[in-house]
Amino acid sequence: MNVSMEFLVASGIGWVTACGVFLMLRGRSFPVVLGLTLIGYAVNVFIFAMGRLWTGAQPIIGNGEVVADPLPQALVLTAIVIGFATTGFVIELALRSHHESGTDQVDGKEPGA
């Protein structure tokens, strides 16, 4: 069976996104943060793949004739940095919220309480 690289990457991104969405819809802030992180990973790979998937193309102009698109690489770098910072912040915020309300539940009270 001949499976293209595009199909594999697309399915991978789709699966990770699905897991991220599932986790994000949980009721506790820890899975929510994990879900956001997974979605962030999927998005980063997605941006990277939007420059098209090349094999054997040079990352920057050199002696070869075909050059991979450099812009998505720059974009994804920015997105990774921003995603990292916001993930750090949301973890800290969730911890603080936990200390304030005494529960990890996102709406601040245990179910049924």
Partner 1 sequence: MSMFSLISPHLPVLTVLLPAFTAMLLVLIGDSRERLVLARRIALASVTLGLLLALKLALDANGGELRVYRVGDWPAPFGIVLVVDRLSALMLVLTQAVALPVLLYASGGWDSHGRHFHALIQFQLMGLCGAFVTGDLFNLFVFFEVLLIASYVLLVHGQGKERFRVGVHYVAINLAASALFLIGVALIYAVTGTLNMADLAQRVPLVNGDEALVLKAAALILLVVFGVKAAMLPLYLWLPATYAAASAPVAALFALMTKVGVYSIVRVHGVIFGAEGGASALVAEPWLLPLALGTSALAVFGALAAQTLPRLVAYLTIASVGTILASLGLFSTAAWSAAMYYMAHSTLVIAALFLLVELVASQRGDADSRLEPGAPVAQPVLLGLMLLLAAASAAGLPPLPGFIGKLMVLQASSGHDAQVWIWIVVLSVGFLTLVGLARAGSLLFWSTRPELAGTGTAAGASSKLVFATIALLVGGVAMTVLADPLKRYTDAAAAQLTDHRAYALGVLGGEGVDTTRPYVFPRPAAGGPAGQGTEGEP
For partner 1, the binding residues (CB under 8 A) are 24, 29, 32, 36, 39-40, 43, 46-47, 50-52, 54, 57, 60-61, 65-69, 71-72, 75, 78-79, 82, 85-86, 89-90, 93-94, 96-97, 100-101, 106-108
Provide the minimum distance between the beta carbon of 46 and partner 1 in the complex, in angstroms, as a whole number: 6
Which CB, 1 or 44, lies closer to partner 1? 44
Provide the minimum distance between the beta carbon of 17 and partner 1 in the complex, in angstroms, as a whole number: 9
| CB-CB contact of 41 with 60 (8 Å) | no
Closest to 84 (Cα-Cα) out of 95, 76, 73, 72: 76
Q: Cβ atoms within 10 A of the Cβ of 90, count?
A: 15
